[in-house]
Amino acid sequence: MITKITSDLVYLGQDDDRIARFENVYPVPRGVSYNSYLLLDGKTVLFDTVDRSAAEPFFRDLREALGERALDCVVVHHMEPDHAGTLEALLRQYPETKVVLTQKALQMFGQFFPLDIAQRAQVVKEGSTLCFGRHTLRFVTAPMVHWPEVMVSFDETDGILFSADAFGTFGSLHGRLYADQYGFEAELLPEMRRYYANIVGKYGAPVQTLLRKAAGLPVKMICPLHGPIWREGLDRLTEKYDRWSRYEPEGDAVVIYTGSVYGHTDAAARALADELNALGVTDVRLYDTAGTDLSLLVAEAFRAGTLVFAAATYNNGIFTPMETLLADLKAHDLQGRRYALIENGSWAPNSGKLMEECLSSMKRMTRRGEILTLRSAMKPEQLAELKALAQALRADE
Ligand code: FEO
């Protein structure tokens, strides 16, 4: 898609509506966009390429956008193949084009591709600047947002931050190029959060470093590598990123995860949700870990301040979908949450102890209440225990 952003900056990104799972793991029912931008200054500068699946329309759009002009330079912000998958093909088609990238990105290029670009590479570092005519670009390294070779660049002339994966969102654009053309809470935020938590969530400290660097720049527009361009509401966007990267919840929500074989554990979890509701805690959501995609479960853990894990014992361990969720939350370095536990076991309940071991090994996690142990099904006489658990969660609001 070729769309003018400013008088000399063109959007060249491509929607991918055929992809089922981004990175072969995260469902993207509304697709994903691979964003690329072309600056038509004294020199022509391409910012990143696209995934190989979109190579054909991308090269066609690039040729059309360049017209009679040569491609002088490509800036590589990130070497992950969703952005650099067509980079080697580009450099073969445009043999005079120079490549601006970090030293680590140059090394990664050699890992991915056989083409030798040593003579064409212009390695930049933190604070390097390049002038292309009217525009001067400043390069800012952003290691681990989301790979170690990542940099972002800032167009000092127009105040545009090319932010690589940062501030990205799942979802194709279908011509709606700007974030202000979407409903923030209902349309953008859930997929922004799912993207952030799963793709970048592990790297809170590097994101904080990037936010500090960006705060020192007069940014008027953010052009990420996925999802819409931000020309309004930058404070709202950066507030979310700041919160998520500090692992601070967005509010007082309680998320209850269930891992139930025949429904008895699930029934107890639903009874807890009812008790919480009766106590005035209204933002309670319950997810079946066996039937909900892991990426949504992880995103919800980044949103909510209180998490309840209710799981059956299975093969003397934790019911597998719950075990997977806990491992993924730990892998994403989730921290600073209150949690409560419900375990079930018909002859040797053990999931509570194992869930506790996992959660207590994570940072700043605090358990509330006692572990509620079910033996096959919750008994009426356990209602007092359940109410006490709800009260313990509420008391920490
Ligand atoms: Fe969109 Fe880390 O690649």
Q: Which domains, ranges and CATH numbers included, belong to the chain?
A: 3-245 (3.60.15.10), 254-392 (3.40.50.360)
Closest-lying ligand 1 atom to the alpha carbon of residue 165: 1
pLDDT given at position 396: 56
What is the Å distance from ligand 1's center to 396 Cα? Answer: 37
32 bridge partner residues: 16, 171
Could you tell me if the CB of 165 is within 6 A of ligand 1? yes
pLDDT given at position 395: 66
**Three-class SS of the chain:** CCEEEECCEEECCEEECCCCEECCCEECCCCEEECCEEEECCCEEEECCCCHHHHHHHHHHHHHHHCCCCCCEEECCCCCHHHHCCHHHHHHHCCCCEEEECHHHHHHHHHHCCCCCCCCEEECCCCCEEECCCCEEEEEECCCCCCCCCEEEEECCCCEEECCCCCCCCECCCCCCEHHHCCHHHHHHHHHHHHHHHHHHHHHHHHHHHHHHHHCCCCCEEECCCCCEECCCHHHHHHHHHHHHCCCCCCCCEEEEEECCCCHHHHHHHHHHHHHHHCCCCCEEEEECCCCCHHHHHHHHHHCCEEEEEEEEECCEECHHHHHHHHHHHHCCCCCCEEEEEEECCCCCCHHHHHHHHHHCCCCCEECCCCEEEECECCHHHHHHHHHHHHHHHCCC
Which residue, chain included where needed, has tokens 């990664």? 108
Could you tell me if the CB of 323 is within 6 A of ligand 1? no
Closest-lying ligand 1 atom to the alpha carbon of residue 146: 2
What is the Å distance from ligand 1's center to 146 Cα? Answer: 7
Could you tell me if the CB of 338 is within 6 A of ligand 1? no
pLDDT given at position 20: 96
Residue nearest to atom 1 of ligand 1 (CA): 165
CA 48 – CA 43 distance, rounded (Å):
16
Identify residue 138 by its one-letter amino acid code: R
Closest-lying ligand 1 atom to the alpha carbon of residue 147: 2
pLDDT given at position 394: 86
Q: Which residues contact 128 (CB under 8 A, 6 or more apart)?
A: 138, 139
Mean pLDDT (10-residue bins), the chain, 397 residues:
95 97 97 98 98 98 98 98 98 98 98 98 98 98 96 98 98 98 96 98 98 97 98 96 98 96 98 97 96 98 98 98 98 98 98 98 97 98 97 77
CA 393 – CA 281 distance, rounded (Å):
9
343 bridge partner residues: 311, 373
pTM value is: 0.96
pLDDT given at position 1: 81
